[in-house]
A = this chain, B = another copy of it.
Amino acid sequence: MIIQLEKDITDIQRATLEAKLQSVSYQTTEVATQFSEYIIGVGKKEFDIRAIGTMPGIRDIHRVSDAYKLVSKKWKVEDTQIDLGDGIKIGGGSFAMMAGPCSIESEEQIESTIAHLVKNNVRIMRGGVYKPRSSPYSFRGLGIDGLKLWYKKASEAGIKIITEVMMTEQIDDMIEYIDVFQVGARNSQNFNLLDALGKVDKPVMLKRGISGTIDELLQSAEYIFSNGNEKIMLCERGIRTYENSYRNCMDLNAIAMLKEKSHLPVIADPSHGIGVRRFVERIALASVMAGADGVIFEVHECPEKAFSDGQQTLSYEEAETLFDRLRKTFEFRENL
């Protein structure tokens, strides 16, 4: 059960309400976000919601049978829109395109990518400065100095940036230099990291785990929300299956279902979702038709020379075509 509180609820009203819930053996959790305050009650079903629905200080109240609560569409019917400022919005009818290299490599690369995005009127740049790598002997990214340089160049050009945060200790260092935190697939159930990202006021894009279920993804989002941060996007990036002719199996079923289960924006990552450059476009466009609110993909001036192997990275020319087709496909979908 979710109870949204009035802004002017008194301490006594709040205490009465919690006592009432606890008297029927409900466990309560207080949630205070950027936008509102809630009490989450978890307990037996037989409770009659009307017994508290008329108590003072309550703005809204609903039963939510899902294991996740605040991120469920059973709680909030209208789609969430995330506002990055400067007119850049994600979800709720605004289609988001995010592109950039796998890793931030150099000042020259940053400038070149920004110029490419500006030319194509794309406003969000992706890139890694902390890279999760299977092997400890691999390059792990330029770190905080790379981030500062990148952020400076991007904000001068009116570009927002999204980058992966891998541990709670990085949050404070990074927060001034990012627009969206990304949680990678390997950290999709790093609950301490999710807790910590719930305590800051920056948007978070949460990737589905390598073999995460749809419900686990939503419960991970619930961690962030219930710690105080409502600005969450979900990202489908392909799952691990037995098939090995591609890197991951892009799960478009999940995109369609997430749009029904949750009010949060859903972003498709076709680069990781198939992992083969020449198929990225088809999967990107298919994702739009499946309901995605945005697409994030890898682009590099010279894919062959990109850190990592660049197998899933588009060239500027390919990206230019894709930006154009994504816009057309989104428009086509909205008018269908």
Tell me the A residues contacting B by CB distance below 8 Å: 27, 29, 40, 42, 67-69, 132-137, 166-169, 186-187, 189-193, 195, 209-211, 213-216, 219-220, 222-223, 226-227, 239-246, 249-257, 260, 273-274, 276, 278-279, 282-283, 285-291, 325, 328-329, 332-333, 336
- The reply to whether B257 and A283 contact each other, CB–CB distance below 8 Å, is no
Interface residue from B240, B242, B253, B286 paired with A289 (Cβ < 8 Å): B286
When distances are taken between beta carbons in the complex, the residues of chain B under 8 Å from A187 are 190
State the Cβ distance, A41 to closest chain B Cβ, in Å.
9
A68→B239 CA distance, assembly (Å): 24
- The reply to whether B211 and A210 contact each other, CB–CB distance below 8 Å, is yes
- The reply to whether B132 and A191 contact each other, CB–CB distance below 8 Å, is yes
- The reply to whether B190 and A190 contact each other, CB–CB distance below 8 Å, is yes
A167→B171 CA distance, assembly (Å): 14
When distances are taken between beta carbons in the complex, the residues of chain B under 8 Å from A168 are 167, 169
Nearest first, the 8 closest Cβ-Cβ pairs linking A and B are: A211-B211, A286-B286, A186-B189, A167-B192, A286-B290, A286-B289, A256-B282, A285-B289
Q: How many copies does the complex hold?
A: 4
When distances are taken between beta carbons in the complex, the residues of chain B under 8 Å from A333 are 285
When distances are taken between beta carbons in the complex, the residues of chain B under 8 Å from A27 are 137
- The reply to whether A253 and B240 contact each other, CB–CB distance below 8 Å, is no
A195→B260 CA distance, assembly (Å): 39
Interface residue from B190, B282, B332 paired with A332 (Cβ < 8 Å): B332
Q: With A189-B186, A282-B289, A336-B325 given, is the CB distance from A251 to B257 under 8 Å?
A: no
- The reply to whether B166 and A169 contact each other, CB–CB distance below 8 Å, is no
When distances are taken between beta carbons in the complex, the residues of chain B under 8 Å from A257 are 245-246, 276, 279
- The reply to whether B282 and A136 contact each other, CB–CB distance below 8 Å, is no
| A–B pairs, 26, beta carbons within 8 Å | A29-B136, A42-B137, A67-B134, A67-B135, A134-B219, A136-B195, A136-B219, A167-B190, A167-B192, A167-B193, A168-B169, A186-B191, A187-B190, A211-B211, A213-B243, A215-B245, A239-B249, A243-B251, A253-B274, A255-B282, A256-B286, A257-B276, A260-B279, A282-B290, A286-B290, A328-B332
When distances are taken between beta carbons in the complex, the residues of chain B under 8 Å from A252 are 250, 252, 282-283, 286
When distances are taken between beta carbons in the complex, the residues of chain B under 8 Å from A274 are 253, 256
Given contacts A29-B136, A67-B135, A289-B289, 16 further A-B contacts (CB under 8 A): A27-B137, A132-B191, A134-B216, A166-B191, A186-B190, A214-B245, A215-B245, A239-B242, A250-B252, A256-B274, A256-B279, A260-B279, A282-B289, A285-B336, A286-B290, A288-B289
A136→B226 CA distance, assembly (Å): 7
- Chain B: CB-nearest residue to A224: B136
